[in-house]
Amino acid sequence: MGWRGISLIFFSILLLAGALGGLYYWLVMDSTAGKEKPNEENAKELVVLTWEEYFDPELIGEFEEKTGIKTRWVHYEDDHDRDERLEANGTRGFDLVLVNERALLIYRKKGWVSSIRAEDVPNLKNIDPKWFERYSSARNYAVPYFWGTTGIIYDSAALPEAPTKWMDMFDPIPELQGKLQMPRDPKELAGPALQALGYSMYSDRLNDYDEAKALIAKQVPYVRDYGTPALNEDSLIVKGEVLAAMTYNGDALMLQEFNENLEYLIPEEGASLWMDFFIVMMSSENREAAYQFLDFINEPETAARNAEHVYYATPNQAAKKHVSQEYLENPVIFPSEAVLARCESFSPLPGWVRRQIDKMFLDVLPAEETGAK
């Protein structure tokens, strides 16, 4: 066999080895990589449970581009809806959840809330410390997001007079027959009824709730819908199908973009002064991604843009250097001290009171509103 014959055999062996190696990679290595890739993508998806229209969508895109973390946003209708969603899944499938202080306390007792350390979210330093002093349950467990009030929005062009009191909503004028919108959540509904009667919205006296129940029952024929006003041109109050509603101050400002005749006020009896928080779920498999998101939204300029987009007051003191003067001077966003003095901050209710509120809701409201059959 000549030199050329030996070279040909050697070359053929090399080709065969290369082919076998490629086949091995295709059968083993490549198939394994194909299985790992979806898992990596799933691990990077951050699932956020929150209100609708409560975050600037442009900032979501910027966060995803900056970090490579994909987000999925799930929206709840009210606190009751959020609680049901979490209970149904054993909290699995959600990484970040937006809550008020009532839910924060309950979720912590259930063991649902993961701790948040300063080193996890360095931009926590931008949050005004007074909010952690006022809401001590949030310290090391929640990140203040926005604060605001719950009052009355009404159509000033359609009504002969403004509903300046909660009692104007529970004992309405004839023009409001079938023209009110009130919250579906029983605890949100009970507070204003108690205030209309001159009681604290966090009363723990049984007789007060009996009176509130009668007042809510009297209001039922005037209510067009139990729910939160939609924040678009199809909203019932924008279209005139509702003439007055209970809503949040920032939502009222959004609705004014669609109807300039809409006005917002804090009733004379007072209102709720609330704070929303982001929490990281104990069941989350993406805590690092959640921490990155919380850090991102508390960058001063990011927090400022988000605040002006949703029309709510930011607890991020560093952000105030980056917002407009118009935002800072808006009395709906930042009420005067005199108005705030009429407002009530959250106070925990005993379990028997919470059960009484739920029973009152089931007894009084139409079955389709309570979910009863």
- Tens of pLDDT along the chain (373 residues) come to 443 344 434 434 443 444 444 433 333 333 333 333 333 444 579 999 999 999 999 999 999 999 999 999 999 988 889 999 999 988 999 999 999 999 999 999 999 999 999 999 999 999 999 999 999 999 999 999 999 999 999 999 999 999 999 999 999 999 999 999 999 888 889 999 999 999 999 999 989 999 999 999 999 999 999 999 999 999 999 999 999 999 999 999 999 999 999 999 999 999 999 999 999 999 999 999 999 999 999 999 999 999 999 999 999 999 999 999 999 999 999 999 999 999 999 988 888 888 888 887 777 876 655 443 2
**∠199-202-203 over CA atoms, to 5°?**
55
22-48 pLDDT, tens digit per residue, is 433 333 333 333 333 333 444 579 999
Q: Is the dihedral of CA 185, 191, 194, 196 positive or negative?
A: negative
250-260 pLDDT, tens digit per residue, is 999 999 999 99
Bridge pairing between strands 180-182 and 223-226: parallel
**Contact of 278 with 121, CB cutoff 8 Å:** no
Q: What is the pLDDT of residue 272?
A: 95
Q: What is the CATH number of domain 148-273+346-370?
A: 3.40.190.10
Superfamily of domain 44-146+274-334: Periplasmic binding protein-like II (3.40.190.10)
Taking the C-alpha atoms of residue 302 and residue 291, their distance in angstroms, rounded to an integer, is 15
315-357 pLDDT, tens digit per residue, is 999 999 999 999 999 999 999 999 999 999 998 888 888 888 8
Check for a shared fold between 44-146+274-334 and 148-273+346-370: yes
Taking the C-alpha atoms of residue 271 and residue 152, their distance in angstroms, rounded to an integer, is 9
> Hey, where are the domains in the chain?
44-146+274-334, 148-273+346-370
